[in-house]
Amino acid sequence: MISLTQLGGRLPVEGSYSEYPFSEQLHYANVCIFELPKGVEHFDAFDQKKLVFCGPIKKERENSGRLKLKGEKSYMMVCSTELEGKKGDFYLSVYFNQRNRDVQLRRIFHEDDK
Protein backbone atom coordinates (compact mmCIF):
# COMPACT_ATOMS: atom_id res chain seq x y z
CA MET A 1 0.00 0.00 0.00
CA ILE A 2 1.22 3.48 -0.81
CA SER A 3 -0.06 6.83 0.37
CA LEU A 4 0.79 10.30 -0.92
CA THR A 5 -0.18 12.83 1.76
CA GLN A 6 0.00 16.55 1.09
CA LEU A 7 0.88 18.80 3.99
CA GLY A 8 -1.27 21.79 3.14
CA GLY A 9 -4.52 22.88 4.64
CA ARG A 10 -4.61 22.45 8.36
CA LEU A 11 -1.70 24.55 9.52
CA PRO A 12 -1.61 28.35 9.34
CA VAL A 13 0.34 29.97 6.51
CA GLU A 14 1.84 33.36 7.34
CA GLY A 15 -0.30 33.57 10.48
CA SER A 16 -3.72 32.82 8.96
CA TYR A 17 -5.75 29.68 8.46
CA SER A 18 -7.16 28.64 5.10
CA GLU A 19 -10.75 27.62 4.51
CA TYR A 20 -11.77 24.09 3.62
CA PRO A 21 -11.11 22.53 1.05
CA PHE A 22 -7.73 24.34 1.22
CA SER A 23 -7.60 24.83 -2.56
CA GLU A 24 -4.76 27.36 -2.40
CA GLN A 25 -2.49 24.84 -0.60
CA LEU A 26 -3.45 21.44 -2.03
CA HIS A 27 -2.50 20.43 -5.56
CA TYR A 28 -3.78 17.87 -8.03
CA ALA A 29 -1.21 15.13 -7.44
CA ASN A 30 -0.57 11.42 -7.80
CA VAL A 31 2.09 8.73 -7.53
CA CYS A 32 3.23 6.37 -10.28
CA ILE A 33 5.33 3.22 -9.97
CA PHE A 34 7.60 1.95 -12.73
CA GLU A 35 9.49 -1.35 -12.98
CA LEU A 36 13.19 -0.72 -13.52
CA PRO A 37 15.38 -2.93 -15.72
CA LYS A 38 18.43 -4.40 -13.96
CA GLY A 39 21.17 -1.82 -13.40
CA VAL A 40 18.93 1.20 -14.12
CA GLU A 41 18.19 3.72 -11.34
CA HIS A 42 16.10 6.32 -13.23
CA PHE A 43 14.46 7.07 -16.56
CA ASP A 44 15.17 10.10 -18.70
CA ALA A 45 11.55 10.24 -19.86
CA PHE A 46 8.14 8.76 -19.05
CA ASP A 47 8.04 5.10 -20.17
CA GLN A 48 4.47 3.79 -20.49
CA LYS A 49 5.72 0.23 -21.06
CA LYS A 50 7.34 0.12 -17.61
CA LEU A 51 4.36 1.63 -15.77
CA VAL A 52 3.05 -0.76 -13.09
CA PHE A 53 0.71 1.55 -11.15
CA CYS A 54 -0.57 5.08 -11.56
CA GLY A 55 -2.88 6.49 -8.92
CA PRO A 56 -5.65 8.91 -9.82
CA ILE A 57 -4.78 12.59 -10.02
CA LYS A 58 -6.74 14.02 -7.09
CA LYS A 59 -6.83 17.32 -5.25
CA GLU A 60 -7.14 15.80 -1.81
CA ARG A 61 -4.97 15.65 1.24
CA GLU A 62 -4.39 11.89 0.83
CA ASN A 63 -4.13 9.83 -2.33
CA SER A 64 -3.57 6.12 -1.69
CA GLY A 65 -3.56 2.81 -3.50
CA ARG A 66 -2.90 -0.90 -3.09
CA LEU A 67 -0.89 -3.11 -5.40
CA LYS A 68 1.21 -6.26 -5.50
CA LEU A 69 4.80 -6.01 -6.68
CA LYS A 70 6.92 -8.94 -7.82
CA GLY A 71 9.90 -10.02 -5.73
CA GLU A 72 13.48 -9.79 -7.00
CA LYS A 73 12.56 -6.71 -9.07
CA SER A 74 13.40 -3.01 -8.72
CA TYR A 75 10.78 -0.28 -8.85
CA MET A 76 10.79 3.49 -9.00
CA MET A 77 8.09 5.62 -7.34
CA VAL A 78 7.47 9.06 -8.78
CA CYS A 79 5.26 11.63 -7.06
CA SER A 80 4.04 14.46 -9.23
CA THR A 81 1.60 17.32 -9.51
CA GLU A 82 -0.68 17.77 -12.50
CA LEU A 83 1.05 20.91 -13.72
CA GLU A 84 4.68 20.99 -14.83
CA GLY A 85 6.89 23.01 -12.51
CA LYS A 86 4.28 23.07 -9.71
CA LYS A 87 5.80 22.06 -6.38
CA GLY A 88 4.24 21.00 -3.12
CA ASP A 89 5.13 19.50 0.24
CA PHE A 90 4.11 15.89 0.80
CA TYR A 91 4.89 12.61 2.54
CA LEU A 92 5.10 9.32 0.68
CA SER A 93 4.26 6.38 2.94
CA VAL A 94 4.95 2.83 1.78
CA TYR A 95 3.50 -0.14 3.66
CA PHE A 96 4.73 -3.68 3.07
CA ASN A 97 3.28 -7.05 3.93
CA GLN A 98 6.84 -8.35 4.34
CA ARG A 99 9.54 -8.45 6.95
CA ASN A 100 11.87 -5.46 6.92
CA ARG A 101 14.82 -7.67 6.08
CA ASP A 102 13.08 -8.76 2.86
CA VAL A 103 12.62 -5.21 1.51
CA GLN A 104 15.24 -2.72 0.38
CA LEU A 105 13.98 0.85 0.08
CA ARG A 106 16.24 3.77 -0.77
CA ARG A 107 16.02 7.25 -2.20
CA ILE A 108 17.94 7.91 -5.39
CA PHE A 109 18.67 11.50 -6.33
CA HIS A 110 18.83 12.38 -10.00
CA GLU A 111 21.74 14.62 -10.96
CA ASP A 112 19.26 17.36 -11.94
CA ASP A 113 17.71 17.45 -8.45
CA LYS A 114 18.50 20.65 -6.58
Rounded Cα distance, 24 and 78, in Å: 23
Torsion of Cα atoms, 5 then 33 then 65 then 92, to 10°:
-20
Instruction: Name the nearest CA neighbour of 51 among 72, 29, 69.
Output: 69
- pTM for the full model? 0.79
Say whether the peptide bond before residue 37 is cis (omega within 30 degrees of 0).
no
Q: What is the pLDDT along the chain (114 residues), one digit of tens a residue?
A: 999 998 776 777 788 877 776 777 788 899 999 999 998 888 888 889 999 999 899 888 888 889 999 988 999 999 888 888 887 788 999 998 888 888 888 888 777 765
